Structure 1
Amino acid sequence: MRILQLHNFYKIAGGEDVVVRSEKNLLEAHGNSVALLDVDNDAIASKFSQTMTAVNAIYSHASKQRVLQEINRFRPDIVHVHNFFPLLSPAVYDACREARVPVVQTLHNFRLFCANSFFYRDGKVCEDCMGKFFPTPAVVHGCYRDSRIGSAVVGTMQSIHRIRGTWRDRVDRYIALTDFARSKFIEGGLPPEKISLKPNFLSPDPGIGPGSGEYTLFVGRLSPEKGLDILLKAWEKLGQSIPLKIVGDGPLADQVKHLSVKLPGVELLGKQPKNRVLDLMKEAKMLMFPSGWYEGFPLVLVEAYAVGLPVIAGNLGSMSTLVVPGRTGLHFRPGDANDLIAQVEWAIAHPEELKNMRQNARREFESKYTADCNYQQLFKIYELARA
């Protein structure tokens, strides 16, 4: 099969960018031809560029023509859209329709219904714009990059394409990453019969680790929605019983660094290469996942399961089903530092149960998140889109 991928890369690289490249490599490894048409948010620099981006985010005729040219050149059997926002715009769907090429869209986040794509505002889950014709709350609160103008642009894009039927008619197949996310997209108005389920995957397989290190681990972006305030509050007490290593970078880096100096047992390692992260995971006792938003499908979870690392996560959104209490990890009440403390202390006091969770986590990876499993799922979705 010949697959054309479309993706707007982010200014700060994230999991979506990794998934795009991983799927490209996976498809090519199985004999498919893949072309990637990509744009980069680094192109948005000058005030003029920012203004034009705002206009084009709603509908970019230039992007439509660029996609048409690439379709004519590459002659794909399928176009797989990962992220169209803001530089490509929903105009790419019209290009595919004119060229009569089926479209698959991976729903990595909630951008179609939420200006900041997270369903998260002011330190808590927010669905104020869900179901509204125009997302006025997002504009009032400046949800997109703390900008009311920017939020109005995103809201206009959402509303216009809802009226045009873009989301309903111009995508042949959607990919949701979790059952929870699929339910949210259906609630937002996407046709349920068009939404397939396919998680992220990890390749190559790093193999299971021994878990012999006497520490817990956090891996992720150091930003408010990741629940770092709850995590550090918990370690005001837990630091005396088990160390916490924090891997990552982000807007809260300075704050976390300051607190890590004051809190016993907390060590900030900063951003680390992937191999080093996997080595740390192999030795860790538990992965801390205190995220306060719904999450998409965090690659760190797949990595943890691959090395046999149990996860302690907030019972919220996708994590409520991705982590199975007593089997692959434990749940705590979202935002409740005391309950997080209780779960960690229980795990420390039950080493045999924790050992069983390691084996179960690895089995979960082998049954659901390998490259071979993912390829079979992805190819079937492409065939459904072409049917």
Structure 2
Amino acid sequence: MRIALAHKFYHLAGGAEVFFRETERVLRDQGHETLMIASGEDHVREGADNVLLLDAPDYDSPSVLTKMRSLPSAIYDRGKKAEVKAALEAFRPDVFHAFGVNVQLTPSVVVAADELGLPIVGTFNDYKHICPNYKLFHHGRICMDCKPRRFYEPVLNRCSKDNLALSVAGSIEAYAHQALRIYDRFDHFTFSSKFLARTTQSFWADRDVSWSHLRNPFPSAAYEAQDEYAPYGLYFGRLIEEKGVDRLIRAAALLDGFPIKIVGDGPDTEALKALAVEVGADNVEFLGAKWGAELDEVLRLARFVVVPSIWHENFPYVINQSFAYARPVIGSDRGGITELVEHGQRGLIFDPDNIQELADQMRVLVADEDKARRFGQAAKVWSDQLFTDQIAYADLMSAYEQAHENRRRRR
């Protein structure tokens, strides 16, 4: 089988790019021919000869005026559509698998595949397909105001970085994609969390959604777990508002000195450091950004990992990594987190709006290393059994078969 896969970035900018690249790896390892379509400069292809890299304007420019001038091509890019259509005609795939294509590629690439009659599978890791605000989060709160298709709400809420112009742009984009029937062109969707699937169905109540569960491919068994559970807790990830690190710092101040290490950086770094001083969290240590072996060294010995998100995380890779090293997770009751962290089995769950509850759950594992070990070992067994290339491949093939069947019915 030949599969074309499209995503906005080829370089590893975050978990969504890992998902995209790992999915392609699983397919290639099973003998399928693949074509990867993404934006990026030539040097990021890392020697891969099956990658079509398309130019993308700098949409991260600090100038709002520059962003507004780029708006038409960020909504629907006819040039990219033509490039991708030509590449698809040459490659002749059996399936077109679209991940996050908005802005850098635009859904014009989906239209190209649809016009060629290809079965189309959509895999989404955020909420951009149902709301201009791809996190359903702004101004410190979860927001569902634009359900169903009330795409003017982001303008009223200024939910894009509290900026009116950017919020207007997001609303225009959503209405344009609705007019172009972008999501009607998909034959099947996959979601890595049931929460994201349910949320999508609630926003698209008037549409039949063909979907299946596709967990992120992750080689859990390849990670060698340690039996040591050192006396510190760990957070690793971006230091941004929706990650809830401020809640963790406030809870850490209640732990009577038990060390909490924070790995990562982001726009809130200095504010979080100041907060730690303000609340007397002398036990919190900021280690900066760490990757690869440096991160593994800190992660593999932690007593527990905290995922304190206050937005509806879909499928945090940090939980995969933690479980693979047999680290229990203390996670917030948000989004898909509870589908991974079974309370009292692989970790503990808390209400992220309750600082005391987070502190209490951390105290459980601070006081009982054996319980942390039991949770961690159970997490490792569960992860190794569930996150395998074989299961991911079977789920992919099932999704592709369903897309073929649905496309045949539409003809």
> 2:192 aligns to what?
177
Inter-partner Cα distance in structure 2 for 1:223 and 1:319: 18
Inter-partner Cα distance in structure 2 for 1:82 and 1:31: 21
The answer to whether residue 246 in structure 2 is matched with residue 246 in structure 1 is: no
Query: In the TM superposition, what is the alpha-carbon distance from 1:111 to its structure 2 partner?
Result: 0.5
> 1:368 aligns to what?
386
Match of 2:110 among 93, 96, 99: 93
Q: Could you say if the C-alpha distance between residues 88 and 49 of structure 1 is closer, same or farther in structure 2, counting changes exceeding 3 Å?
A: farther
TM-score of the two chains, using structure 2 as the length reference:
0.87
Query: Secondary structure in 2 aligned to 1:83?
Result: coil
The answer to whether residue 306 in structure 2 is matched with residue 291 in structure 1 is: no
Greater displacement, 313-322 / 204-213: 204-213
Structure-to-structure mapping, 1:220-299, within 5 angstroms: 220-238=237-255, 240=257, 242-259=258-275, 263-299=281-317
Match of 1:377 among 386, 390, 395: 395
Contact 1:293 1:317 in 2 (8 A): yes
> 1:219 aligns to what?
236
Inter-partner Cα distance in structure 2 for 1:137 and 1:11: 33
Contact 1:201 1:302 in 2 (8 A): no
Contact 2:328 2:372 in 1 (8 A): yes
Inter-partner Cα distance in structure 1 for 2:318 and 2:208: 28
Query: In the TM superposition, what is the alpha-carbon distance from 1:12 to its structure 2 partner?
Result: 8.8
Inter-partner Cα distance in structure 1 for 2:208 and 2:305: 33
Inter-partner Cα distance in structure 2 for 1:371 and 1:245: 32
Inter-partner Cα distance in structure 2 for 1:22 and 1:54: 31
Structure-to-structure mapping, 1:142-181, within 5 angstroms: 142-167=158-183, 169-181=184-196
Unaligned ranges ≥5, structure 2 = 41-55, 406-411
Query: In the TM superposition, what is the alpha-carbon distance from 1:269 to its structure 2 partner?
Result: 1.1
Deviations 1:58-91 (A, max 9, x none): 3221121121011012111111111111132222
Query: Secondary structure in 1 aligned to 2:285?
Result: strand
> 1:81 aligns to what?
98
> 2:2 aligns to what?
2
Unaligned ranges ≥5, structure 1 = none
Contact 1:78 1:104 in 2 (8 A): yes
> 1:331 aligns to what?
349
The answer to whether residue 215 in structure 2 is matched with residue 199 in structure 1 is: yes
> 1:38 aligns to what?
38
Deviations 1:314-342 (A, max 9, x none): 11221233211000110111221111011
Deviations 1:157-176 (A, max 9, x none): 32333344321x20011111
Contact 1:211 1:309 in 2 (8 A): no
Q: Could you say if the C-alpha distance between residues 308 and 363 of structure 1 is closer, same or farther in structure 2, counting changes exceeding 3 Å?
A: same
Deviations 1:215-240 (A, max 9, x none): 11101110000001101101112251
Query: In the TM superposition, what is the alpha-carbon distance from 1:49 to its structure 2 partner?
Result: 6.0
Inter-partner Cα distance in structure 2 for 1:17 and 1:158: 23
> 1:301 aligns to what?
319
Query: In the TM superposition, what is the alpha-carbon distance from 1:363 to its structure 2 partner?
Result: 1.6
Contact 2:332 2:350 in 1 (8 A): yes
The answer to whether residue 51 in structure 2 is matched with residue 23 in structure 1 is: no
Q: Could you say if the C-alpha distance between residues 8 and 52 of structure 1 is closer, same or farther in structure 2, counting changes exceeding 3 Å?
A: farther
Deviations 1:181-203 (A, max 9, x none): 11000011174541111111323
Contact 2:262 2:285 in 1 (8 A): yes
Counterpart AA for 1:20: F
Inter-partner Cα distance in structure 1 for 2:162 and 2:7: 24
Inter-partner Cα distance in structure 2 for 1:92 and 1:239: 55
Equivalenced residues, count: 384
Contact 1:310 1:358 in 2 (8 A): yes
Counterpart AA for 1:3: I
> 1:318 aligns to what?
336
Query: Secondary structure in 2 aligned to 1:232?
Result: helix
Query: Secondary structure in 2 aligned to 1:237?
Result: coil
Match of 1:352 among 366, 370, 374: 370
> 2:203 aligns to what?
188
Counterpart AA for 1:353: K
The percent identity for this pair of structures is 28
Query: Secondary structure in 2 aligned to 1:86?
Result: coil
Q: Could you say if the C-alpha distance between residues 9 and 172 of structure 1 is closer, same or farther in structure 2, counting changes exceeding 3 Å?
A: same
The answer to whether residue 141 in structure 2 is matched with residue 124 in structure 1 is: yes
Contact 2:303 2:365 in 1 (8 A): no
RMSD of the alignment, in Å? 2.2
Match of 1:65 among 82, 93, 102: 82
Contact 1:221 1:248 in 2 (8 A): yes
TM-score of the two chains, using structure 1 as the length reference:
0.92
Contact 2:229 2:372 in 1 (8 A): no
Query: Secondary structure in 2 aligned to 1:267?
Result: strand
Q: Could you say if the C-alpha distance between residues 86 and 199 of structure 1 is closer, same or farther in structure 2, counting changes exceeding 3 Å?
A: same
Inter-partner Cα distance in structure 2 for 1:121 and 1:48: 22
